Amino acid sequence: MTTQNPSEPAEQTQDVYPPSSEFSTNAVARPSLYEEAAADRLKFWELRARLLNWSKPFTEVLDYSNAPFARWFADGRLNACYNAVDRHIESGHGDQVALFAEYEDGADASYTYAQVKDEVSRMANALQDLGVTTGDRVAIYLPMIPEAVFAMLACARIGAPHSVVFGGFSADALRSRIDDAGAVAVITADGQFRRGKALPLKPAVDDALDGSQGTVKNVLVVKRTGGDVAWTDGRDHWWHELREDASTEHEPVAVDAEHPLFILYTSGTTGKPKGIVHTTGGYLTQAAYTHRNVFDLKPSSDVYWCTADIGWITGHTYVVYGPMVNRTTQVIYEGTPDTPHQGRWWEVIQKYGVTTFYSSPTAIRTAMKWGEDIPAKFDLSSLRLLGTVGESINPEAWRWYRRVIGGDRCPIVDTWWQTETGAIMISPLPGVTPLKPGSAQVPLPGISADVLDDNGEAVQPDEPGFLVLTDPWPAMLRGIWGDDQRFIDTYWSRFENRYFAGDGAKKDADGDVWVTGRVDDVMNVSGHRLSTSEIESALVSHPWVAEAAVVGAADETTGQSVVAFVILRSDALGDVEAEGGEENAVQVLRAHVGQEIGPIAKPKKVLLVTELPKTRSGKIMRRLLRDVAENREVGDTQTLADSSVMDLIQRGLAGK
């Protein structure tokens, strides 16, 4: 794996926002949590784990004898869905609303915990009737509708690990994930609403299964948009039809704490996405603990809204598992922030009286761009806590978020974590930590993190280094599906015995962590991880392309944007000319990436060049291409095999 030097830290500010005494007095988190965890870390986690319901209580907290493969609470047994749903009914809260579902067109629905239990039980019965059993993998390819939540919980209820694939991914991306996990069933919908339009979803599943390895025997289809869909008899089943006959009685299957709860694919430094494996007991423990303390959860009065799609880890941990294990009332929203108008999110907050809002820096910057008079039209006074995740938030956006959305009264939690960490790792505790805009600040009680230099030594204050996690944590990934060696190589080889996160960071004089961004070939576009080499492979798979190099260029709104440098094959130039020349070729290649991976991976720019800058050993120097993409003076070209290449590239681009 290649690692670049960590870049310069984000802008630093002197502002500190201490908690208000009103917030602190009623806060869930207490300063004593830090002391408690420092005194006995394992005891600390043991007590958090005992807040779950175990069908067989565990006796051992952590087994790390086979490091880096950790086992937490391993001799205990439990069911994730029981913990997220049934136990709230048993404690007398069946009538509490679990989900307020807001559809893009303004229609809505709500489900109490008792109703969620019925829906999930029906789906679990239907899946079992189709032959899905404990340990089978099930792919979920759905929009943000309540059935997506039910599908995940139904899988958890029978101990069938789910693999949720974001609804914006292409058929090819879906196929490779289905094949890698060996999924036996897919849960999808006929279509989804996006920006007022009904877009088909089922055809992508048909396409994916056509040419797949054939492990999928059944496809469960939720009717959302209506209209015609192609149908494979015996394989495809309408959910509303199976639902009618499915019983609302279902016994959750207790599994070992280390039983896989889900696989979630994420981009890595090579072309092939990694299937990150999370298990049951440790994951749920940390999901619930972080959700309760970081979001200051008051289950009986809060209305919580996390805007993430269930296709991402944030949707797993902070829409489904953390909130529901904690008996949260939450909003889920199907659509985009600007449909039918740019105040849609703020309208949703007003409609449901949302108290706690968790979103991303890129969304905040977009709202800033649209202007503060838009949120000003809505009553946001119900809000009491704000959060962000996905990338560092620039202090200017942080202050805007606090003032315009949070009315200068809501603390903001900037939460650092990853698909691999499963749950929040570094974040202020609201009511406890004085807040610094732009910094994720401190490891949560129970979590150990550090910033190291190249040699594995702790860095001096304000010096750039690499973010590492120094002790195993309950929600840590247990591996990469089917590839233990890649797990070790990716995370445990850069520094001995420490987890390498792939992020650059520094610590300031107070010990607060400032994350500076990825130091590997992973880009972060609108808070979504994209791999440079995955997009390069997609480009090279087009018959016109000889070579491609992709970089993430700084972008005001999306954090980074994808810029591709492409060399066309000389024997394809005739075709390119015949089909509308270079301008058309750029559009064709963008669309091709959309087809291969999904619209989110489409390069913002495709630059056609005749050369790529390479070292003598043939490695592409992306650093120099990034300079070009960001309109900077090109840096040191001494290590290039041919130092005139950069001139050639720039002259070529200037001439277009």
- Find out whether 526 is annotated in a ligand binding site: yes
Stretch that binds ligand WTA, among 158-166, 239-247, 495-503, 573-581 (CB under 6 A): 495-503
Of 330, 378, 390, 396, the residue nearest 357 (C-alpha): 330
Residues 6+ apart with CB under 8 A from 580: none
Interface with ligand WTA in residues 259-298 (CB under 6 A): 266
Quick one: which segment of 174-182, 223-231, 387-395, 404-412 binds ligand WTA (CB under 6 A)?
Answer: 387-395
Q: Which is nearer to ligand WTA, 302 or 309 (CB)?
A: 309
CB of 266 to ligand WTA, least distance (A): 5
User: Of the listed pieces 151-159, 252-260, 311-319, 606-614, which binds ligand WTA according to CB under 6 A?
Assistant: 311-319
- Choose, by CB under 6 A, the member of 166, 289, 295, 417 that binds ligand WTA: 417
- Give the residue at shortest CB distance from ligand WTA: 419
- Residue 521 counted as an annotated binding residue: no
Pairing of strands 97-102, 108-112: antiparallel
- 604, 561 contact by CB (below 8 A): yes
Give the shortest CB-493-to-ligand WTA separation in angstroms: 17
| 85, 101, 306, 313: which one binds ligand WTA (CB under 6 A) | 313
CB 21 within 8 A of CB 517: no
AA identity, residue 135: G
d(CA 242, CA 122): 9
Task: Please check if 529 is assigned to a binding site.
Answer: yes
Among 81, 124, 138, 501, binds ligand WTA (CB under 6 A): 501
* Burial (CB count <10 Å: 0-12, 13-18, 19+), residue 179: middle
- # residues contacting ligand WTA (CB under 6 A): 22
616 annotated as ligand-binding: no
Using rule CB under 6 A, residue 398 touches ligand WTA: no
Both tokens of residue 644?
């005139």
Q: How far is the CB of 483 from ligand WTA (least distance, A)?
A: 17
Residues with Cβ within 8 Å of 571's Cβ and at least 6 positions away in sequence, in order, are none
72 vs 318 by CB, closer to ligand WTA = 318
- Rounded to whole angstroms, the Cα distance separating 242 from 481 reads 31
Which of 225, 362, 415, 532 is the binder for ligand WTA (CB under 6 A)?
Answer: 415
Strand-pairing partners, residue 272, are none
Q: Which of 383, 515, 585, 645 binds ligand WTA (CB under 6 A)?
A: 515
**Amino acid identity of 229?**
V
Calpha distance 565→518 (Å, rounded)? 20
Structure tokens given for 12: 């630093």
What burial class does residue 386 get, using C-beta atoms within 10 Å of its C-beta: 0-12 exposed, 13-18 middle, 19+ buried? buried
Q: Which of 589, 611, 613 is nearest to 601 (CA)?
A: 589
196 appears as a binding residue in the annotation: yes
Residue selected from 168, 260, 502, 613 as contacting ligand WTA according to rule CB under 6 A = 502
Enter the DSSP assignment of 642: S
The 10 Å CB-count burial string (b at 16+, else e) for 562-590 is bbbbbbbeeebeeebeeeeeeeebbeebb
Q: In this complex, which beta carbon is closest to ligand WTA, that of residue 146 or of residue 390?
A: 390
Taking the complex as a whole, the smallest distance from the CB of residue 233 to ligand WTA amounts, in Å, to 38
Question: Which of these segments, 24-32, 308-316, 580-588, 607-615, binds ligand WTA (CB under 6 A)?
Answer: 308-316
> Is residue 414 at the binding interface for ligand WTA, with CB under 6 A as the rule?
yes
CB of 517 closer than 8 Å to CB of 392: yes
Which structure tokens are listed for 566? 């492409």
Hey, which residues between 185 and 244 contact ligand WTA (CB under 6 A)? none
Annotated binding-site members for CoA: 194-197, 314, 526
Contact residues: ligand WTA, CB under 6 A: 266, 312-314, 389-392, 414-419, 440, 501-503, 515, 518, 524, 529
Annotated binding-site members: 194-197, 314, 414-419, 503, 518, 526, 529, 540, 542, 545
Annotated binding-site members for Mg(2+): 540, 542, 545
